[in-house]
Amino acid sequence: MRALLIAFILGSVACCLSSCGKSGPSLVIAVNAGVEGSALKAAAQQWAEQKGIRAEVVELPYANLFEKEMLDLTSKTGAYDVVMLDDPWFPRLAEYLEPLTKDPDSDFVQTCLDVCRHPYKTGAYRALPYVGNSQVFFYRGDLFDKYKIGKPDTWAHVLDAAKKIGAGEKMYGYVMRAAPGNAVVADFMPLLWAFGGDMFNSAMMPTLTTPEALEALRFMIEIGKLAPPGYTGFNADEVAAHLLQSTAVMSINWPAWIAAMDNPAKSNVVGKVEFATMPSAKNPGVAELGSWLVAVPAGAKNKQSAFEFIQWATDAERQKDAAMRGNPPTRTSVFERQDLREKYRSYPVQLESLKTSRPRPRIASWNEVENAFGIYLSQANSGTLKPEEAMQKAELEIRQILVRSK
C-alpha cells in the first residue's frame, strides 16, 4: 500500500506527451522544470513517436526534484524509468541507479564522464552526461578595451579592473552571488581553488582554516566592496540583471545566461559582454562543474527501453538539437560544430572551461554541507562574522555533518 501511495504521489504531476494514447509499454521520465528539462522533454516526445510507445514526463522545480527522486529511488517504487539529476546529487543517489549496459564513448568531455562513475572517476558508470554546464567569467569587453585593460586572467587583475572601470564609468566593478547556501558557495569555490585551498584533505576532513582558504575568503570580501548593495542576498538572477542593465562590469555566472546578453529584448549590452575561463591566482583558474545527468533507477519498470532512450538522447545528433534549445552539450564534437559556433560565440570558451572544470566534492552529504558552509560564507560577506570566525564555525559544523552521515 505504501509503495502504491508513493508511486501515485510521484506520478501525480506527470504530463503525457502526444503519444500517450498508444498502447504498449510506457517510459516515465523525471526532469528539471527549465531549459535543461525542456530539451529532454522534446527528445522524449520524438523518441515516443519513433518507437510508437507512450512517454510521460514529470516536470518538477529544482527545489523539489531531488526530494521526489530520492523518495522513488530509495523506496524502489519504480515510479520513474529515467531520472535527470544535478551532478552533486549523484554521490547520494548512485547506489540506487542501475549500472550502464555499455560504457560511453570518448566523444564525451572527460570531466562530464568522471561524475557519472561511482566511485568518482574509477567505478562503474551509472549515468550519462546530458548538459555540459560549467561556470564562465562574464566581463564587459568594450570597457576593457576603452580603458586599455587586458583580458581578466588573474584575480588581482580582476580587482584592479573593477576599481578602475567602476570608478571611471560610475558603475559597480563586480557583482556576485552571496546569498546563503548554494549561491555563495558556487561563487566562492573558483576563488578557493585559485588561491590554493580546498574543501577537504585526502582523509576527507574539512580544510577551511588554512591560510589559502582564508586568503580566498578575504579576497571575496574585498571585491564585494565593489559590488551592489545587498549582494549578500543575490542569486544568479540578480547578478545577470546587473550585467544586462549595464550597472556592473564583471561576474561569474552559468552558461544559461549567455544568450540573454545578446538578446535586444532583454539586454542593454548586446555584443559588449565577453566570456573567459576562470581567472587564476596561486593556481590556474578552474570553474565549478554543474553537469546534468540522465540515469536509470535500479527499481525502474522498463529498464531496457530506458537505457536505449538515454543512449539515444545523449548521442551527437540529439545533443545538437538540445544545444539549439540552449543546453550546453557534453560532447566535444558538438561544441566544435561550425553552425553552433556561429550561433553561440561563447562555445570555444565554454568548451575550454568545461574540460578543466572541477565538480563539487563527491560526498553523499554534500547538500547538507553546502547549505551549512553557505550560511557562514554569506555572514562573512555581510560582516556579521570575521573571516576566521566564519571558517572556524563552518569547519566545525561540517565535521559534525560528516560524522552524522557515516
CATH for the stretch 136-288+365-404? 3.40.190.10
Q: Distance between CA atoms of 168 and 147, rounded to whole angstroms? A: 9
Q: Residue 24: pLDDT band by 50, 70, 90 thresholds? A: low
Segment 106-125, tens digit of pLDDT:
999 999 999 999 999 999 99
Which is more confidently placed, 26 or 40? 40
Q: Does domain 2-133+290-356 have CATH number 3.40.190.10?
A: yes
Answer yes or no: same fold for 2-133+290-356 and 136-288+365-404.
yes
Residue listed under C-alpha cell 522544470:
33
Domain limits, the chain? 2-133+290-356, 136-288+365-404
Segment 261-276, tens digit of pLDDT:
999 999 999 999 999 9
Q: For the whole prediction, is pTM greater than 0.75?
A: yes
The pLDDT value recorded for residue 26 is 84
Where residue 204 falls (left for φ over 0; alpha for ψ -120 to 50; beta otherwise) is left
